Structure 1
């Protein structure tokens, strides 16, 4: 990314607050999954859309004939799948099934790049949050993406603003540990964390 690039990482907390102008002013706007708040308090632009590629949510999207016509999908400039493909011998159970190939095949006709986060980065991010949480935990797509973006950019080159991260939801994520990581990155000057409305 060019020096001085501004990146808005927009989470899915419903109480994001009205940050539309600040989000839309960023050079890059990264959103996740169904992107609640798009078109309202969370702004109107999506340059990169991160879509969970393991488990039942992607299966539902693939079964939906209108999936690629949803606003956030149709207007995205690029797609990022946060979990690396699983090896063939991996557990094929529905909760963790790998849909990477099917998702990429569905998205590529839109003419936008489709990328997968590098496996070494996702492994490092997952190990860090597991150690911090003191228990097995699946990293959230928001945490994985932010971790990867910060890992591959120079601190002086990119300004990261994080909006709409409520650190709550599915119990399989270690949201307290993820919150501490974001707060540590904010304290180190790597990002600005905009708290959600109380």
Structure 2
């Protein structure tokens, strides 16, 4: 049976889309799941930045571990592969010395937490990240460090998770935020996938 997969970013989501989101077969949210509530409640997967400060804060504090979306989720996806970010550490220490903790890897902590809470842990493959970097080059990105976790997950779902007939929708993506994500190019990449019929937005 074809599925409805909804990827919900941490941007604003109108309450009128809560019903369609909750009715989906799979709902993916990110990190602290700020979209949960007005943007529906269903959460099957939480995709996390498993390196750097965001990962440390999620694992060290009780807010993330005690959150309702995390209790509902069946899977945790680590968006950043250990080997890829280990290789980035040296070059980043020269080009972006202020990002000294950006490549610190906390995948083991998420694995331990997943095992303790009966959730499945998946690692988004490095090939998804590399393929996306290559695709973004066509959209003239300004200098960047990595694509956003949201875009990596969208690309991973389209290329590796969705099956023939599945409908993939996104909501809560404003394509803005951290200065070292290529958001202008990311928006153009998303619009190209929508134009090709591979993706749609719930917030339109």
TM-score using structure 2 length = 0.86
Query: What residue number does 1:7 align with?
Result: 5
Query: What residue number does 2:105 align with?
Result: 98
After superposing the two structures, state which structure 1 stretch, 84-93 or 109-118, moved more. 84-93
Question: More helix per residue: 1 or 2?
Answer: 2
Q: For the aligned residues, what is the CA RMSD?
A: 2.0
1:146 aligns with 2:145: no
Separation of aligned partners in 2, 1:66 and 1:47: 19
Matches within 5 A, 1:1-198: 3-13=1-11, 15-18=12-15, 19-39=17-37, 41-86=38-83, 91=89, 93-130=100-137, 132=139, 133-153=141-161, 156-195=164-203
8 Å CA contact 1:160–1:192 kept in 2: the answer is: yes
8 Å CA contact 2:7–2:170 kept in 1: the answer is: yes
Deviation at 1:24, TM superposition (A): 0.4
Instruction: Give the gaps of 5 or more residues in structure 2.
Output: 91-99
Separation of aligned partners in 2, 1:62 and 1:51: 11
Pick closer, same or farther for the CA change 1:147–1:89 going to 2, 3 Å: closer
Separation of aligned partners in 2, 1:177 and 1:155: 26
8 Å CA contact 2:21–2:39 kept in 1: the answer is: yes
Pick closer, same or farther for the CA change 1:171–1:62 going to 2, 3 Å: same
Query: What residue number does 2:95 align with?
Result: none
8 Å CA contact 1:86–1:98 kept in 2: the answer is: no
Deviation at 1:119, TM superposition (A): 1.4
1:123-173, CA deviations, whole angstroms, 9 ceiling, x for partnerless residues?
111332255315333111110001011112566421011111011110110
Q: How many residues are paired up?
A: 192
Pick closer, same or farther for the CA change 1:154–1:45 going to 2, 3 Å: closer
